[in-house]
Amino acid sequence: MIPVTALGHVTFETPDLEHQIAHYTQVVGLTVATREKDRAILATHLGDEVVILQHGAVQRCTALALHVDASIDLSAANKMLSGKGIKSERRSDVTPRMASALVFSDPNDTRVELYSEVQRLPRAAPPHEAAPIKLGHIAFMVRDPKQMVDFYTSMLGFRVSDWAGDFFAFLRCGSDHHTVNFLRGDEQRLHHFAFELKDWAHVQRACDHLGEKDVQIVWGPGRHGIGHNIFIYHFDPDHRVVEFYTELDQMKDEAAGYFEPRPWHKDRPQRPKVWTDFKAARLTWGPPPTPEYAGTHSKHTPSTTEKAS
CATH number of the domain enclosing 100? 3.10.180.10
| Mean pLDDT value of segment 2-15 | 96
Query: Within this chain, do residues 148 and 242 fall inside the same structural domain, yes or no?
Result: yes
Residue 90 lies in a domain: yes
Give the other-Cβ count within 10 Å of 261's Cβ: 10
Residue 280 lies in a domain: yes
Percent of the chain, pLDDT > 70? 96
Query: Within this chain, do residues 79 and 147 fall inside the same structural domain, yes or no?
Result: no
Residue 111 lies in a domain: yes
The model's pLDDT over 54-113, given as tens digits with 9 standing for 90+, comes to: 999 999 999 999 999 888 889 899 999 999 999 999 999 999 999 899 999 999 999 999
Is 192:139 a contact under the CB 8 Å cutoff? yes
Residue 42's pLDDT band (cuts 50, 70, 90): very high
Query: Within this chain, do residues 139 and 278 fall inside the same structural domain, yes or no?
Result: yes
pTM, two decimals, is 0.94
Confidence (pLDDT) at 208: 97
Residue 128 lies in a domain: no
Query: Within this chain, do residues 247 and 138 fall inside the same structural domain, yes or no?
Result: yes
Q: What is the mean pLDDT of the chain?
A: 94
User: How many structural domains is the chain composed of?
Assistant: 2
Stretch (H or E) spanning 49: strand 49-55
Query: Within this chain, do residues 181 and 263 fall inside the same structural domain, yes or no?
Result: yes
Whether pLDDT at 309 is above 50: no
Out of 55, 83, 115, pick the residue that ends a domain.
115
Instruction: Please give the sequence-ordered ranges of beta strands (E in DSSP) within the chain, or none if there are none.
Output: 4-14, 31-36, 39-43, 49-55, 60-68, 88-91, 101-105, 111-115, 134-142, 159-164, 168-172, 180-184, 189-196, 219-223, 230-235, 241-246, 273-275
Stretch (H or E) spanning 83: helix 74-83
Whether pLDDT at 307 is above 50: no
Domain that holds residue 53: 4-115
Residue 191 lies in a domain: yes
